[in-house]
Chains A and B, each alone.
Chain A
Amino acid sequence: MEKFETVTGIAAPMPLVNIDTDMIIPKIFLKTIKRSGLGVNLFDEMRYDRQGNEIPDFVLNKPQYREASILVAGDNFGCGSSREHAPWALADFGIKVIISTSFADIFYNNSFKNGMLPIVLPQEQVDALMKDAEKGANARMTVDLENQIITSSDGVEFPFEVDAFKKHCLLNGLDDIGLTMEKESSITAFEGAAAQARPWV
């Protein structure tokens, strides 16, 4: 997993509440052999009409938000199924941070596993950041995970909470595999000893 560096980027406003995993990635895209490549189908039914043409009104289709790396979203983001295809699709699109008043539990955990940072803030702070996001492409937010601070485009700081272990994993780019890789020297030592004891393996 890539290390989570400080993100400075465009934030897209999605004030809708209860954005579920079916909206994030409809089930017809689960037959894939891939985790990557789902970004084009992110929010598929909201983003394209039946003929596959972009719906111009949808936020991520607007010129100023096409490069968004932050989502500011309504309450209960990511509810629905446990499909990891949802965070896969968001990450593949380029989203690195999602800010909301609350997240569905499984989605929340899945996000960390895929290098994304979901941030929970009180309603009035989310409202303020939503307004900031509505300013468009010139209004860039900065999310500093190390110091746990979001800075809005006009310099207002919003501190946030995050689980210490999850923060450690994100900052160091560690997933389950990454964590095991921290034991690299033990694995190498084991392999060395095993090569002596059981060279035929």
Chain B
Amino acid sequence: MTAPKTLYDKIWDAHVVDQADDGTCLLYIDRHLVHEVTSPQAFEGLRMAGRKVRAPEKTIAVPDHNVPTTLDREDPATMTEDSRIQVAALDKNAKEFGINYYPVTDVRQGIVHIVGPEQGWTLPGMTVVCGDSHTATHGAFGALAHGIGTSEVEHVLATQTLIQKKSKNMKVEITGKLRPGVTAKDITLAVIGATGTGGGTGYVIEYCGEAIRDLSMEGRMTVCNMAIEGGARAGLIAPDETTYEYVKGRPHAPKGAQFEAALAWWKTLFTDEGAHFDKVVTLKGEEIEPVVTWGTSPEDVLPISGVVPAPEDFKGGKIEAARRSIEYMGLTAGQKLTDIAIDTVFIGSCTNGRIEDLRAAAAILKGKKIKDGMRAMVVPGSGLVRAQAEEEGLADIFKEAGFEWRMAGCSMCLAMNPDQLAEGERCASTSNRNFEGRQGYKGRTHLVSPAMAAAAAITGHLTDVRELM
């Protein structure tokens, strides 16, 4: 009898090409996603060595980080010189090496982690890599997905493999049901709040439990997306009917008999009874509240009903970090979170830029107006999300409420394109990182769910969305 295996063990074992005596493995990569920022030197390396991309049909590229999200973005003047060069380099490399490509002019263009699943490139049981830490998103399908550096990008391009050592297994279980107004974003933030940003270091997390099972695929992607903020190498959710249903019929998903064959294998992808986890964290779904971050680390999470903490509430090095955060964020200890005034709202990113996210925000905004003087923007995660939102009438709701309705891209998630916070501006953002300067020099970020972002846009301050439901 073979020992019981975790989901991670199973996917790993199915992809080992070669194993050295010290445990270092050569792991086969099924899907390699590429964007314009971390790939130029890798392609250049191939060119210098006279190498080809080993599996161009398994390589998918899309520009997202630098691209402007305004309607006139096909005009090169909307980009700075170095951004323009990076995007042009991806155009050229995609063509030269014959990889799958979604240029800015393609309606399917969008954030790489939204485009992959949307097009059916990401499937259960796969290994997926990208020169980007939020590759963890794809774990929602029960795919082993993680970010890599530029030299590894080159390694995968050339060999379709990665030299890897196995991580440890961690289980994060969310039991029971979520209460109304509580979303996948609140789960993932609450988990990081509980484990800390280093809690997952050295582990691959498997999320499980009733509250996870109840999530849609999009919600599961939101949860796995932020596994990296908890320090984990990857996050996983075992595939089930919800997964198969989502995958079926996507452009690059298997069809007909192939789909049936795939399904038979996917159904074996779960953690066996009695399999060993090196670490287990359990949260009760009913106890999770809508949360916000108050500081400059994703672990600085509190229920919206809370108050800004005092540095002395913490221990060790975190005391100083909290002091610095509170000062940077312009807050005072003891201040009610709902008293924090907001001047900017950003709805988008690979965490919360999918159609359900837009629906959730629009449901709150319908028939309402955003607060006077508020700058609010929606940046759909892909051109297709944008088109669907227009078809469903969501775009009109946003526009009538006073939101800017943008083109797809990473946008203000990291402010590498022109969408940035000005010094001192305070943003309720559906993205994933609240680091100092992340959304613009001296900009202040509060991470929230799309519904919470919509609520803040209406009232002008951080708000418990349940009061508007």
Closest to A113 in B: B151
Which residues of B228-283 have CB atoms within 8 Å of chain A's CB atoms? Answer: 253-254, 258-259, 261-262, 265
Residues of A within 8 A of B26 (CB): 180, 183, 186-187
Which residues of A173-193 have CB atoms within 8 Å of chain B's CB atoms? Answer: 176-177, 180-181, 183, 186-187, 190-191
Q: Check B48 against A35 for contact (C-beta < 8 Å).
A: yes
The interface stretch among B37-45, B304-312, B370-378, B459-467 is B37-45
**Least CB distance, A53 to chain B, in whole angstroms:** 24
Residues of A within 8 A of B159 (CB): 177, 180-181, 187
Residues of A within 8 A of B161 (CB): 180, 183, 187
Which residues of B4-48 have CB atoms within 8 Å of chain A's CB atoms? Answer: 17-18, 26, 28, 30, 40-41, 44-45, 47-48
Question: Does any Cβ of B come within 8 Å of A52's Cβ?
Answer: no
Q: Check B18 against A186 for contact (C-beta < 8 Å).
A: yes
Residues of A within 8 A of B40 (CB): 33-34
Q: Check A33 against B18 for contact (C-beta < 8 Å).
A: no
Closest to B41 in A: A35
Residues of A within 8 A of B197 (CB): none
Question: Does any Cβ of B come within 8 Å of A128's Cβ?
Answer: no
Q: CB < 8 Å: which of A177, A183, A186, A200 contacts B261? A: A200
Question: Does any Cβ of A come within 8 Å of B77's Cβ?
Answer: no
Closest to B86 in A: A33
Question: Does any Cβ of B come within 8 Å of A194's Cβ?
Answer: yes
Question: Does any Cβ of A come within 8 Å of B51's Cβ?
Answer: yes
Which residues of A94-139 have CB atoms within 8 Å of chain B's CB atoms? Answer: none
Q: Check B265 against A177 for contact (C-beta < 8 Å).
A: no
Highest count of chain A CB atoms <10 Å: which of B41, B51, B89, B126: B41
> Please, how many angstroms separate the alpha-carbon atoms of A186 and B51 in the complex?
19
Residues of B within 8 A of A180 (CB): 26, 155, 158-159, 161, 163
Question: Does any Cβ of A come within 8 Å of B364's Cβ?
Answer: no
Residues of B within 8 A of A201 (CB): 30, 58, 123, 126
> Please, how many angstroms separate the alpha-carbon atoms of A194 and B40 in the complex?
30
Given A176-B151, A200-B258, A34 contacting B41 (CB threshold 8 A): yes
Question: Does any Cβ of B come within 8 Å of A36's Cβ?
Answer: yes
Highest count of chain B CB atoms <10 Å: which of A35, A186, A191, A199: A35
Q: Check A35 against B259 for contact (C-beta < 8 Å).
A: no
Residues of B within 8 A of A1 (CB): 49
> Please, how many angstroms separate the alpha-carbon atoms of A200 and B244 in the complex?
14
Closest to B58 in A: A201
Question: Does any Cβ of A come within 8 Å of B160's Cβ?
Answer: yes
Residues of B within 8 A of A200 (CB): 123, 253-254, 258-259, 261-262
Question: Does any Cβ of B come within 8 Å of A198's Cβ?
Answer: yes
Question: Does any Cβ of B come within 8 Å of A31's Cβ?
Answer: yes
Interface residue total, chain A, C-beta cutoff 8 A: 22
Main secondary structure of the interface of B (DSSP, over half): helix
> Please, how many angstroms separate the alpha-carbon atoms of A180 and B48 in the complex?
18
Q: Check A181 against B48 for contact (C-beta < 8 Å).
A: no
Residues of A within 8 A of B299 (CB): none
**Least CB distance, A28 to chain B, in whole angstroms:** 12
Question: Does any Cβ of A come within 8 Å of B154's Cβ?
Answer: yes
Question: Does any Cβ of A come within 8 Å of B422's Cβ?
Answer: no
Residues of B within 8 A of A176 (CB): 151, 155, 163
**Least CB distance, B331 to chain A, in whole angstroms:** 35
Q: Check B261 against A199 for contact (C-beta < 8 Å).
A: yes
Residues of A within 8 A of B261 (CB): 199-200
Question: Does any Cβ of A come within 8 Å of B85's Cβ?
Answer: yes
Which residues of B117-147 have CB atoms within 8 Å of chain A's CB atoms? Answer: 123, 125-126
Q: Check A34 against B44 for contact (C-beta < 8 Å).
A: yes
**Least CB distance, B119 to chain A, in whole angstroms:** 14
Given A200-B259, A200-B262, A201-B123, A183 contacting B17 (CB threshold 8 A): yes
Query: 19 A-B contacts, Cβ less than 8 Å apart?
Result: A1-B49, A33-B44, A33-B85, A33-B86, A34-B44, A36-B48, A177-B159, A183-B17, A183-B18, A183-B26, A183-B161, A187-B17, A187-B160, A194-B28, A199-B258, A200-B253, A200-B261, A201-B30, A201-B123
Q: List the 9 shortest-distance A-B pairs measured between CB atoms, nearest first.
A: A200-B254, A33-B40, A190-B17, A180-B159, A200-B262, A200-B258, A177-B158, A186-B18, A35-B41
- Given A183-B18, A198-B265, 17 more pairs with CB closer than 8 A: A33-B41, A33-B85, A33-B86, A34-B44, A36-B48, A176-B163, A180-B158, A180-B159, A181-B158, A183-B17, A187-B54, A198-B262, A199-B258, A200-B123, A200-B253, A200-B259, A200-B261
Which A positions have Cβ atoms within 8 angstroms of B? Answer: 1-2, 31, 33-36, 176-177, 180-181, 183, 186-187, 190-191, 194, 197-201
